[in-house]
Amino acid sequence: MLGEGGYQPAPTEFFVPLLDFCKQEGIPVWADEVQTFSRTGELFAFETLKIGHYIDLCTIAKTAQLGATLYTEEFNPKPGLIAGTFSGSTVSMTTGMAMIDMLTQEGYLGANGRIQQIHKKFVSGLNRLNESTCKNKASDAGGLGLMVAFTPFDGKKEQVDAFLKKLFNNGLIAFGCGKDPVRVRFLVPAIIQDRDIEIALSLIEKTILEGL
């Protein structure tokens, strides 16, 4: 999934021919899940996309509370050959494990898990705004799991920059991503409540209606 490139996910069908080619040619497949780990509806985006059997190495960070490299036995590094800028501390590792326990044991993952419920509610809310009070000014809502984005107005950089500043002043933090169009992206907390999503949508609506 493109992150800074616009929060645009690619479907499984996009990856399969590329990954088949890599396997045929003996090219290792490295999955960068620094941003997507635990945010897509499964612990790994490659699980969400059902391409895990292709993956040889995987890097995670951010919501894991530390940086880690995971690997198949074939790519197991020899002792002393792997290190990291931040490979964790006792506190961060304990926090990360507690978070993973919560996600895996409290109904957050899976097709009907809380993460997918959040995604559907947020995206459907943005689509509702685009079809009603903010007609054609909150288009192309989408993303993957807790990574949600939409295109405000015409998606011009100056418009999005102004929108983000006004949105911040109205009480909601978001970031820009992509180019032609530039989009507004949200990293939604997994513990967000439905009422908080409605508040966020109302602030987005208010900001759009204020104009630029």
Instruction: Say whether both 134 and 171 belong to one domain.
Output: yes
Total of domains in the chain: 2
Instruction: In whole angstroms, give the CA distance from residue 153 to residue 204.
Output: 12
pTM here is 0.91
Asked if residue 7 belongs to a domain, the reply is: no
| Pairing of β 183-187 and β 147-152 | antiparallel
User: Could you tell me the residue range of the domain that residue 146 belongs to?
Assistant: 114-210
Instruction: Say whether both 62 and 17 belong to one domain.
Output: yes
Is-contact 102 121, C-beta < 8 A? no
pLDDT reading at 67 higher than 90: no
Asked if residue 144 belongs to a domain, the reply is: yes
Asked if residue 23 belongs to a domain, the reply is: yes
CATH number at residue 28: 3.40.640.10
pLDDT of amino acid 84: 64
**Mean pLDDT on 165-181:** 96
Of 105, 140, 155, the one marking the end of a domain is: 105
Asked if residue 174 belongs to a domain, the reply is: yes
Asked if residue 94 belongs to a domain, the reply is: yes
Q: What is the pLDDT of the chain when averaged over all its residues?
A: 94
For residue 6, how many C-alpha atoms fall within 13 Å in the half-sphere facing its CB? 14
Of 105, 135, 165, the one marking the end of a domain is: 105
Q: Band of the pLDDT at 31, cuts 50, 70, 90?
A: very high
Of 105, 126, 153, the one marking the end of a domain is: 105
pLDDT tens figures, 112-145? 999 999 999 999 999 999 999 999 999 999 999 9
Instruction: In whole angstroms, give the CA distance from residue 34 to residue 127.
Output: 28
pLDDT reading at 160 higher than 90: yes
